[in-house]
Amino acid sequence: MDTNKFNRPWDYWLLWAVLLFSLALNVYLFVFINGLRKAARGPLSNLAQVIKDIQNQTITTRINIQEEIPFSMQVPIKDTFKIPIKVSVPILTIVNVPVTIPILGQEITLRVPIDTAVPVDTVVTVPLNSAIPIKGTAPVSFEIPVSLEIKQTPFGPFFEKLYDWILAAKQKL
């Protein structure tokens, strides 16, 4: 047996000790980091699912509107109306009629009783050209249901990118 083999300077053995310590430290760090990677996959999957659930959420609310809306306008009316008149006008009177008798040359007044009805059957055309002012307020009261999906809001693309980034990070682990 060669005794020179174990008879080396102390820095030689120190170098071997540092080498073995470094190797052990690297193995420990590799195992530790690998464990961290495996441990991070589960929470990243859960986080990705939470982000997907947030994207599929809907914000639902009701907006109640109760207002008085003032209005003022002119309603123009330009039309011609035809009014049919069909009536019988009764005439009951006594008319004094002066009559000259040619032989006598004298004028006498005769009382003539009139008892009759005059039928009137006509259509009267009445033009109407006017503007009617209308002014007031109208009460308005209603409820508007509002339903927004998160993915259709400006937050949608952000959550989609975040979801893709989390999946990419999970794949790299």
Residue 35: predicted pLDDT: 78
Residue 4: predicted pLDDT: 65
Residue 26: predicted pLDDT: 94
Residue 172: predicted pLDDT: 75
Is the separation of the CB atoms in 172 and 44 below 8 Å? no
Domain parsing of the chain, residue ranges: 10-172
Question: Is 7 strand, coil or helix?
Answer: coil
Residue 22: predicted pLDDT: 94
pTM equals 0.40
Confidence category of residue 3, pLDDT binned at 50, 70, 90: low
What CA–CA distance (Å, rounded) separates 72 from 134?
Answer: 6
Q: Is the pLDDT of residue 5 over 70?
A: no
Q: Is the pLDDT of residue 37 over 80?
A: no
Confidence category of residue 155, pLDDT binned at 50, 70, 90: confident
Confidence category of residue 15, pLDDT binned at 50, 70, 90: very high
- pLDDT tens for 44-101 read 778 888 888 888 888 899 999 898 989 899 988 888 888 898 988 898 888 888 888 8
- Nearest residue to 133 (alpha-carbon basis) of 71, 79, 85: 71
What CA–CA distance (Å, rounded) separates 157 from 57?
Answer: 14
Q: What percent of the chain has pLDDT over 90?
A: 13
